[in-house]
Structure 1
Amino acid sequence: MRKIVLLIIFLGSVALYSQENMTTTYYFIRHAEKVLKPSENNPELTKKGKKRAENWSNVFKHVKFDMVFSSNFKRTIATASPTAKSKGLKIQLYDAKNAINKKFLENTKGKTVLIVGHSNTIPNYVNKLIGKKKYLDISDSNNSNLYIVTVNNKTVNNILLKIPF
């Protein structure tokens, strides 16, 4: 009986340690190329943008996402869709003004997450996660940035990759 109690205590300690030491990985991308119409504030993707969205799905072929997030715009949803579909995941919409909040961090802890956003939001989200202003807004002609942030306890790592297309 004593061995069973010790085993339960040990397994509980391992489970608690594992929860506290979970690694969360965030992948951030800007939406693909959009149709440029001055009067349109919610444009679709261009033909090139649709191809880029498919390319992102190929880039992420070996990444096991738990969740895919997009702002509620046609261009971000269309960029996220091929990856979400290939992973059998539903796109979860977020409020672009308040994406990285306490609830979001709790819900994504220990998961691998894709977030699709905009030239002025994605760098800000990354900066918020890493706790410093490292990244500036993305140029309107740049749809190739991939930011990866890993969080484990108080250790936060980040990298910016340029994915050509």
Structure 2
Amino acid sequence: MKITASIILLFLISSCDNTTTEKPVKKEMDFTTTTYYLIRHAEKDRTNPDDEDPNLNEEGLLRAEHWAAVFSEIKLDAVYSSNYKRTQQTAQPVARKQNLKIENYDPHKVYETDFFEKTKGKQILVVGHSNTVPVFVNHVLGQERYENIPDSIDGRLYVVTKTADQATSFILNLE
């Protein structure tokens, strides 16, 4: 009985020895969150149907100022816009109030660039078009969730949050 008790005691003492030289390696978690805010350009001037690059109309200029108010409580790291007058004019009040330069992007090639790596961990506003904003969101989500924006809707805000493991989205209608 003494031998069994001694063996158990010796085992307990040796198992409590924590002088190992190697420590377990902890896998580093990536908690980087990127948030994309995506809007379609505001109302464009439709008086000349042949104009492929129209300016915003009065209502659109007011909406652009409204977007600046909406984003006044969100510290953006960058504002991206396609190189059309209507998207630039929609982005301008937000960029001006946040003291940011508007970065141009090609809405048809954004996925071929290092855009996602460049914007990782930041809060980004992207101003696009009825047929490019949903494509962008779907690309980030990795699924076909959203269809093109109807031409009658100008006040929709898509919010997409991306981490290393997942992407989520929701829409706010600010009409």
What band does the TM-score fall into relative to the shorter chain? 0.7 to 0.9
> In the alignment, which residue of structure 1 is the partner of 2:31?
21
> In the alignment, which residue of structure 1 is the partner of 2:156?
145
Question: Are residue 89 (structure 1) and residue 93 (structure 2) matched?
Answer: no
2:147 to 121, 136, 142: 136
TM-superposed CA distance for 1:102, in Å, is 4.8
- CA deviations over 1:92-144 (Å, ceiling 9, x no partner): 00012112345000100000000000000000000000011110001111101
Larger radius of gyration: 2
Question: Are residue 127 (structure 1) and residue 158 (structure 2) matched?
Answer: no
Which structure shows the higher strand fraction? 1
Q: How does 1:3-22 map to 2 (within 5 A)?
A: 17=28, 20-22=30-32
RMSD: 1.7
Q: What TM-score does the superposition give when structure 1 sets the normalisation length?
A: 0.87
State the identity as a percent. Answer: 44
> In the alignment, which residue of structure 2 is the partner of 1:112?
123
Question: Are residue 33 (structure 1) and residue 46 (structure 2) matched?
Answer: no
**Which amino acid counterpart does residue 38 of structure 1 have in structure 2?**
P
Equivalenced residues, count: 150
TM-superposed CA distance for 1:155, in Å, is 1.5
> In the alignment, which residue of structure 2 is the partner of 1:157?
168
- CA deviations over 1:12-51 (Å, ceiling 9, x no partner): x9xx957x32100000000000011211000000000000
- Runs of 4+ aligned structure 1 residues displaced above 4 Å come to none
Per the alignment, in what secondary structure is the counterpart of residue 119 of structure 1? coil
Per the alignment, in what secondary structure is the counterpart of residue 60 of structure 1? helix
Q: What TM-score does the superposition give when structure 2 sets the normalisation length?
A: 0.82
> In the alignment, which residue of structure 2 is the partner of 1:5?
none
Structure 1: which 5+ residue stretches go unaligned? 1-12
**Which amino acid counterpart does residue 33 of structure 1 have in structure 2?**
E
After superposition, the Cα gap between the structure-2 partners of 1:157 and 1:46, relative to the gap in structure 1 and judged at 3 Å, is: same
Per the alignment, in what secondary structure is the counterpart of residue 110 of structure 2? coil
> In the alignment, which residue of structure 1 is the partner of 2:67?
56
